Each structure stands twice: as structure tokens, then as C-alpha cells.
Amino acid sequence: MPTTARARDTAAAQVFRGVTEAAIEAAARAQGIALDAAQRAAVPRMLRPARRHVYLHGPAGRGKTWLMDAAFAAAPTARKRRIHFHDFFPELHAAIFRHRHDLNAALDELLRSPDGDGHVELLCFDEFHVHDVADGVLIRRLLAALAARPVAMAVTSNYAPEQLLRHPLFHATFEPAIAEIRDRFDVIVVDGPRDHRAHASHDRGFAAGAWVTGAAPGRSGDGVVLRVAERDVTARALSEHELHATFDDLCSEPLSAREYAALARLRSQWLITAVPPLESLAAAPAQRLANLVDVAADRGVRVEFHAAGEPTALADAPHPPLDLARTLSRLGSLRRVVAS
């Protein structure tokens, strides 16, 4: 990196300017959370990094997202945006198309601050990942474009930078981007021994849902067609508070994270019935289930799954989804119920 760029990054190193360790501890106490040793060690490095950006990585359920979200909430600026990576990429592709493949024009649109006056100073990505070579090419361009802008980034990931785009045929093409991440981000490991989702309270959000094994509920329907994200999606029913769909409605059809996010905006409580034995799933439905779980967890959707078997059986599918550990961690946070 040129000296001038290094100096600029150092000058902008306060990713979470104005956030104190005391504010993070207070947020934890307010939610009844006891930070483990790995989280406590990460806090000062996250708040006072040597570089402009921070990259938190570690196994699923270790509290990376919670740390980032607590700091994001406490950051004393309105010019900030927090987004799940599943949501950002469809937005980015659509904006690039609108601006005739001009990445900088697309970023001008996406990074405009909520008040409409200027651009965001703080950008937080949850669950950063690179599995696809085409996405890898775009992410390389994205990192270079963001480096030229006065924006600080915080990223959470289940992968160390060197583990991104692990496919042996394509990994070398992403190594320049990995070098950029190592150069521009403080890379912080959060790898405590405990999966906190396994001990989550069940009073709010995704963890308030349930995984029910046994008899299916009595409600059914012929189907209702919902128009979401410019696509027709069939569900069993839509009540005032709840969306009812079968597994086939949501995971056997070619839906993406974009459609799941639109459904999350439509209703914050879902009933998903007729979930087959997960060890029997083909690759595409298994991956859609993982994407659905990611979106529902990020959006705080309360989901009640009615299933033929256990969620852990997903690991025995012929082609388990990418980010399997994260999916199992999130499904493990649900209440377990055996229908009588």
C-alpha cells in the first residue's frame, strides 16, 4: 500500500469512534449476557484498531455479530449502515445494472446516509463470505473501490481471510484480495469454547421459534400466491400475524435470499410445515434451507418448523450446504418440541 494510503487508513482507524468498552459491557449487562474471555479480548482491539477496518472471524455462535452490533448501536453517528452480506450482494448487483455497470455510481447510491445528506461513515457487514469465483471478482473490485472512500468497515465472518474462496481451482485468483484484507483490516479472532446460540434465551427473535418433530399441525390450505421481490411465491396461508408455508413452497422452488428477505418484511412469524428428513435433501434444497435460516435469523423472524426428523441430520445430507456449522448453530438455538 502506498505511504499516503497507509497514513490515510491510520488517520481513519477509529472504526467505532466514540464507543467505549464500558458501553459494550453495559449493553451486555442490559441483555443478561456474560462476555467470555475471547469476546473481552476482542473488544479493545475492535474499538481501537491500528488500521481503518476490522475483520472479526471465528466459529459459529461465538458472539462476533453481537459484538459488532453492540458497537454499531453505540456509535454516535447517524451516518452508518449495518447489513447482512446475503442482502448486500443482490442490492449491489441491481445497483450496478441500474448504473450501466458503473461500480462507483452504484456505491454512491448504496452508501448514501439515512438522512440523505452525504454518505455513510461506518459500514458493517455480517457473515462475510466468498464461495463463488464470480463473486470473488466483484469483491476484489468492491474492496478497491471502498478503499478510496472515507468509510470505515467492520466485518464478521466464519472464515479467516485465507479461508475465503477455498475452492482449489480458484483460490489463487482471490489471493490479491486476501492480501488487501490483511493490509487494510485488523483481523481479530473470536473463538471462545462455547456456542452461545445453544444457550440463547427464547424470548425474542429467531431463537423464540421452535423445531417441532412429530405430527404436523392441522392447518392447511390450497395455496395463496404472494408477489415478493418481483416474483410469485406460493404459501399455504397468510394471516394477520403469520406466514404459513411448506418446506417445498420455500426450499424446493428456486428462491434466493432476496425472496426470503421480502417475506421477512411481510411477516415476522413463519410456520414451515412438512419439512422432510434433512439427510434426504439434494444440494439445492439444502442450500436454500441454509439461506432461509440465515435471513430469518438476521431479520429476527420467529420460525416454527414442523419436521420429520432432527435438524442435526442436515450434516448427513449427500451435499450439505455451505456454512453448515452456522446453519446448525442457528437451528440449535430453537426450542425443541416433540408433538404428541
Give the separation between CA 6 and CA 12, rounded to whole angstroms: 10
Residue type for position 10: T
Residue indicated by cell numbers 428456486: 254
Residue showing cell 472471524: 57
Instruction: Give DSSP secondary structure letters for 81-125.
Output: EEEEHHHHHHHHHHHHHHTTT-HHHHHHHHTB-TTSSSB-SEEEE
Same fold, 3-194 and 197-338: yes
pLDDT in tens, 80-106: 999 988 888 888 999 999 999 999 999
Secondary structure class of 234 (helix, strand, coil): strand
Count Cβ atoms below 10 Å from residue 227 Cβ, excluding itself: 9
**For 73-77, 102-106, 117-121, 200-204, which range has the lowest pLDDT when averaged over its residues?**
200-204
Cβ–Cβ < 8 Å for 142, 103: yes
Assigned fold of 3-194: Rossmann fold (3.40.50)
Average pLDDT over residues 135-139: 92
For 22-49, the pLDDT digits (tens) are 999 999 999 888 999 999 999 999 999 9
Asked if 297 contacts 206 with a C-beta cutoff of 8 angstroms, the reply is yes
Report the distance separating Cα 258 and Cα 335, nearest Å: 27
- Interhelix angle 133-147/85-98, rounded to 10 degrees, is 80
Average pLDDT score over residue span 197-217: 83
- Classified by CATH at the fold level, domain 197-338 comes out as Rossmann fold (3.40.50)
Place 17 in a pLDDT band, splitting at 50, 70 and 90.
confident
Are the C-beta atoms of residues 36 and 136 closer than 8 Å to each other?
no
How many residues in total does the chain contain? Answer: 340
Q: Is the model's pLDDT at 162 over the cut of 80?
A: yes
Residue at 99: amino acid letter: H
Residue whose C-alpha is closest to residue 139's, from 108, 185, 180, 84: 180
Positive or negative, the Cα torsion across 66, 71, 73, 74? positive
Q: How far apart are CA 136 and CA 139, in angstroms?
A: 5
| Domain residue limits, the chain | 3-194, 197-338
Q: Is the pLDDT of residue 181 over 90?
A: yes
Mean pLDDT of 211-227: 77
Q: What pLDDT was estimated at residue 158?
A: 95
Q: What is the pLDDT of residues 46-66, one digit of tens each?
A: 999 989 899 999 999 999 999
